[in-house]
Amino acid sequence: MALFMPNGTDVPETDAERADLDAIQALKESSAIEYKEDGNKFVKMGKKHYSDAIDCYTKAIGQKIPDTLHNSVCYANRAHVNLLLGNNRRAFEDAQEAIKFNRANVKAYFRGAKAALALKLIPEALDMAEKGLELDPLNTELKKIGDQAKAIHHEEDAKKKRDSEALEKAKKLTALLEGRTVNIGKATFNHLTEGRKPWVDKSAMIHWPVLFVHAEVMVSDFIEDFFEMDTFGGHLDINYGDGSPSLLWDTRHEYTRERVELYYLSNAAKPLSNKHVVRWLLENDVGRQFKDVNDDDDSDGDYISFFPLHWKRLSHCRVVTCFVS
C-alpha cells in the first residue's frame, strides 16, 4: 500500500482507493497528535530535552494535517521552546505561523511579542501585543510586554528627536560662523578645554571658549565664556588686573596687567569644511573627546600652511570677532 501519493495523480475512483486514503489520513492525524504530545512531555522534562521537543513539534507540523487549531498549537509550542532556548528569530517566525493558522491564538501573540522584543523589532512587538490584548484584554503578561515595547519606542523616538535637534543646532551655528567669515581648524588643546565648543545665546550672539597659554611656565587659563563682543583687554583686566586672585604658579609676581603681552598664531590650522565643522560641534563635551579621531580628517597628514604662520601681538582691545576672522 503506497503511503505517499505522487503529485498529479488521478482522484481515486474506486471504493478501495478511497478507503486507503482515509486510512492514510487517520494515520497521519494520530501521528501528529502523538508527536505533539511527545513534544509537550519533553518540554516538561527540562532543558536537556528541549531539542527533542523541537524535533517532535517539527514532525507534528510535518504531517500537514488539515486541523488548523492543531497546527497553530504546534507552532506556538515550538515558538515557546525556541524562546526558552534563546532562538528568538525562530521563535518569532513560529509565532507568525501559529497566528496564520489560528488568528485567535493568544499564546502565539504573547510568544511572538516576546521574541520580537528580544530582537528589538519594536513595531512588530507592539503589533503582536496589541492584537493579543484585543482577544484577551486582561492578559497581564501581554500587557507587560506591550508596555515594555512602548517604553523602548518612546525612548527611541526621544533619542531621534534629541539627535535631530542637536544636528539642527550645530548646522545653525555653522551657518552663523560662515556668515561671520570665521574659519575653524582642528583643535590643538582639547585636553585643556574639556572639548568645549562655541555656543549661541538666545540673541543669536556667539560665545567662545578661549585658552590663554603661558608658554614660559606651561600653564594655561581657560576662559569659559568669551562673548563675541568682549574685548581681550577686559578679560586681561579680570585675570591679571588689580583685585584679581593671585596666580599660584606666578611665584615671582611677574604676570601683572602692565607686563602681560598677548600673542596669537595666525593661520595655525587648515580650515575645516562646513560638514566637518558640524561634525566637530556634535562631539560630546567630555568623554568622546578622548577617543582618537581616526576618520578621513587625517588624510591631509601634517598641515603645511599655505599662508605663513605668524605670531602676532594682540592689541588689548581687539574684539574676538575681528580676531577669529
Partner 1 sequence: MAVDKDLEDLAFFLKSPSPNLRKAAVEIVQGLSGTDEGVRRLSSHASALFSPLVRILVEAEEVSKPAAEALVNLSQDVAVVDHSIRVGAVERAMELIGKPGSKLNKFMVMLLVNISNIDKGASRLLQEGDEKLAGLNIAKLVRFFSRFSSSEVAGDDEYEHVANILVNITRLEFGRKVVLDMSKGILRQILPQIDSRSVVRRQGVAGTVRNCCFDAETYLPSLLLASEFLWPALLLPLAGTKVYSELDTAKMPLELATPLSQEDRELETDPKVRVEACEAIYLLLLQEGGRRAFWAINGPRILELGYEEEEDPKVMEAFERVGALLVGGSGTDEEAVQA
Grid cell for residue 252: 615671582
Of residues 15 and 242, the one with the C-beta less far from partner 1: 242
Residues found near partner 1 in the complex (CB under 8 A):
176, 179-180, 201, 203-205, 227, 229-231, 233-234, 237-238, 241, 243, 316-319, 321
CB 321 → partner 1: shortest distance, Å? 7
Of residues 146 and 209, the one with the C-beta less far from partner 1: 209
What distance in Å separates the CA atoms of residue 280 and residue 298, rounded to the nearest whole number? Answer: 14
CB 230 → partner 1: shortest distance, Å? 5
CB 179 → partner 1: shortest distance, Å? 7
DSSP 118-143: HTT-HHHHHHHHHHHHHH-TT-HHHH
Residue type, 27: L
- Only one residue has cell 517604553, namely 151
Of residues 227 and 264, the one with the C-beta less far from partner 1: 227
DSSP 244-310: SPPPTT-TT----TTT---EEEET-SPPPPHHHHHHHHHS-SSSGGGS---SGGGGG-S---SSPPE
CB 109 → partner 1: shortest distance, Å? 55
What distance in Å separates the CA atoms of residue 265 and residue 129, rounded to the nearest whole number? Answer: 63
231 secondary structure, DSSP code: B
Of residues 212 and 227, the one with the C-beta less far from partner 1: 227
Query: Which helix H or strand E contains 87, and what residues bound it?
Result: none
Of residues 205 and 309, the one with the C-beta less far from partner 1: 205
CB 319 → partner 1: shortest distance, Å? 7
Of residues 238 and 260, the one with the C-beta less far from partner 1: 238
Of residues 15 and 258, the one with the C-beta less far from partner 1: 258
What distance in Å separates the CA atoms of residue 245 and residue 215, rounded to the nearest whole number? Answer: 20
CB 269 → partner 1: shortest distance, Å? 24
The counts of H helices and E strands in the chain are 11, 5
CB 303 → partner 1: shortest distance, Å? 30
Which ranges of 45-119 would DSSP assign to H, the alpha helix?
Answer: 50-62, 68-85, 88-101, 106-118
